[in-house]
Structure 1
């Protein structure tokens, strides 16, 4: 049985998987930043920070949280359609969550590593691609 933190992380990752079909474009401005901590602990800290921030965001946006929670209980095609409908109607929330989760991909690229399990990694990249 999963604890509450694991269930929340699974919901966030499920949202990433299910939102993969949502078309979105963003323009990322270059930023100056220090080299990331590429140690296993540093990469895990990035994942924990991003998923923690996503959890806080969903807690502060009850409608988005309800959509993600509901989708988590549905078969993938139905959940995907439900989330696509929700986030199409609320694009700022999609962009916000995408921005919150972006540090995971940034760290993966800069450290030439994989930060998530294979199924979550695939879902993450599908979600981030829009």
Structure 2
């Protein structure tokens, strides 16, 4: 798993959306879903919902929350290493958080848009790549 400083924001966003397990423990299970709302408001709502879910997940998972918060302010390489170590040791939290953050990637792909600013987008992509 690759991470950088922006991942902590993703977790909170979308990672600390790097990465924190979010969305009331939604596990990455394939499900059928309706086409996303690709309007600017629809994309923003998706990001806001993912952000809220990620924060909720992190609040319910103190270890992940601590790892994500500790990564803030660290050099990107150190933040990445620390988050990788935590989520490697806690794979269920990684996959839960990944599931929570997935709607951002789905919306970006299906709507052909960038839902996150470049700095967060890079962190999101690294986290989701594992």
TM-score normalised by length of structure 1 = 0.77
Unaligned runs of 5+ in 2: 1-7, 20-27
Q: How many residues align?
A: 112
Shift of 1:28: 5.8
Runs of 4+ in 1 over 3 A off after TM superposition: none
Q: TM-score, normalised by structure 2?
A: 0.77
Q: What's the Cα RMSD here? A: 2.0
Q: Partners of 2:34 and 2:64 in 1: how far apart?
A: 33
Gaps of 5+ in 1: 1-8, 18-26
Cα deviation, 1:76-107, whole Å, max 9, x if unaligned, reads 11111111111111000000110000000001
Correspondence 1:59 to 2:84: no
Q: Which has the higher Rg, Structure 1 or Structure 2?
A: 1
Aligned residues of 1:59 and 1:65 also touching (Cα < 8 A): yes
The answer on whether the counterparts of 1:50 and 1:104 sit within 8 Å (CA) in structure 2 is yes
Closer, same or farther in 2 for the Cα pair 1:11/1:105, shift >3 Å?
closer
5 Å-filtered alignment, 1:101-116, equals: 101-116=101-116
Instruction: Name the counterpart of 1:48.
Output: 48
Query: Is the CA contact (8 Å cut-off) linking 1:11 and 1:68 kept in structure 2?
Result: no
